[in-house]
Structure 1
Amino acid sequence: MKVLLVDGTIIGSKTGAILEQVQIYINKANPEMELKLLKLADYDHQFVDGRKLEEYNESMQEMVHRFEEADGYIIATPIFQGSIPGVLKNTFDMLHPRAMRYKPVSIVANGGTYQHHLVIENQLKPILDYFRCLVTPNYVYTHTSHFDETNAIISEDVHNRLRELARVFVQYAEMSKHLSKETLDNH
């Protein structure tokens, strides 16, 4: 199973630090999963405006293909100004509505205030629901105080929640194998 670890921003390093930790915990829960990092900062972004995919640059096309080829996702995002980064929303806008259908998704996020966790509930989960993803119920939200000056996670509670997220994601991934096949057989 190919799992895409999506670093949903072009600045900062906390989301990357969270993804590194999730990768370790998923590898422990199921070492057979193929985990690949996709950093939005590595792509040459264009605004999505309704053109056909082949009319966008190669970088945007590659990003879409990586999403389409994946069997599951860990989406990591910072919360800026009470919202997900525009570059992450622009990425979702590039995807076909069936690109992520019935694929497992876990969410990790970080923000400067404790109230920003509501962005996951009010913005990110509805987008993923639109795609009909299998969103795990236990997202992990981190705050600046959960990191040291090198952006290492210092909160044992966060580590415990990331371990649980990895365990639940692996179960959702197993479930999605059967659901996806049934769905394809019925079409």
Structure 2
Amino acid sequence: MKVLFVDGTIIGSKTGAVLDTVEGYIKEKGNEFEIERMNLADYDHQFVDGRPSEQYNADMKEMVRKFEEADAYIIATPIFQGSIPGVLKNAFDMLHPYAMRYKPVSIVANGGTYQHHLVVENQLKPILDYFRCLVTPNFVYTHESHFDQDNRIIDEDVHNRLRELARVFTKYTEMSKDLSTDILDAQ
């Protein structure tokens, strides 16, 4: 099963540090996941403006291909100005509505205030619901106080929640194997 880890920002390193930690916990589960990392910072982004997909550059097409080929996702995002980064929303705007359908997704986010965890509930989850993803119920939100000066997670409660996220994500991937994609083929 292909799992795409999406680092949903072009600046900073905390989301990458959280993804590294989640990856370690997922690997501890002993599953057979093929994990690929997609750092949005590594791509030449174009503003999605409704033109035909073939008119976008190679990097934009590559991002879409990776989303489409993945069987499951861990999406990491910082919260900036009470919102997900525009670059992450722009990436979602490139995707066909069926690209992520019935595929498991877990969310990790980080921000500078404790209240910004609501962005996951009010912005990111509705986008993933539109795609009809199997969103795990236990997203993990981190705050800058959960990291040391080298961006290592130092809060034991955060580690426990990330372990639980990995456990639930693994169960969702098992469940998703039984979902038929025949509906997609018929459309």
> What TM-score range do you get, normalising by the shorter chain?
over 0.9
Residue matched to 1:77: 77
What corresponds to 2:173 in structure 1? 173
Provide the rounded CA distance (Å) in 2 between the counterparts of 1:123 and 1:143.
18
Matches of 1:185 and 1:74 in 2, distance apart? 25
Amino acid at match of 1:52: P
What 5-or-longer segments of structure 1 have no aligned partner?
Answer: none
User: Structure 2: where are the runs of 5+ without partners?
Assistant: none
The AA in structure 2 aligned to 1:155 is: D
Shift of 1:125: 0.2
The 5 A counterparts of 1:14-53 are 14-53=14-53
Residues 1:106 and 2:106 are matched in the alignment:
yes
Query: Which residue in 2 is equivalent to 1:88?
Result: 88
Q: Does 1:62 align with 2:62?
A: yes
Structure 1 residues 170, 121: closer, same or farther in 2, change over 3 A? same
**In 2, Cα distance between the equivalents of 1:157 and 1:180?**
37
Rounded to whole Å, the distance in 2 between the matches of 1:118 and 1:81 is 12
Number of equivalenced pairs: 187
The one-letter amino acid paired with 1:61 is K
Where 1:175 maps in the other structure, the secondary structure is: helix
Distance 2:12 2:114 in 1: 18
Q: Secondary structure at the match of 2:177?
A: helix
CA–CA separation in structure 1 for the residues paired with 2:70 and 2:29: 19
Contact preservation (8 Å) 1:72, 1:105 = yes
Distance 1:96 1:184, change over 3 A: closer
Partners in 1 of 2:31 and 2:174 — Cα distance? 13
CA distance in 2, matches of 1:66, 1:84: 20
Structure-1-length-normalised TM-score: 0.97
Identity, in percent, stands at 76
Alignment pair present for 1:144 and 2:144: yes
Question: CA 1:59 to 1:185, structure 2 compared with 1: closer, same or farther past 3 Å?
Answer: closer
SS at structure 1 position matched to 2:38:
strand
**Residues 65 and 185 from structure 1, CA distance in 2 versus in 1: closer, same or farther, beyond 3 angstroms?**
closer
TM superposition outliers: structure 1 runs of 4+ over 6 Å: none
Q: Deviations over 1:114-163 (max 9, x none)?
A: 00000000000000000000000000000000000000000010000000
- Distance of 1:83 and 1:163 partners within structure 2: 26
The Cα offsets for residues 80-133 of structure 1, whole Å up to 9 and x where unpaired, read as 000000000000000000000000000000000000000000000000000000
Contact 1:2–1:70 (CA<8 Å) still a contact in 2? yes
Q: For residues 85 and 35 of structure 1, what CA distance do their matches in structure 2 show?
A: 23
Structure 2 residue identity aligned to 1:54 = E
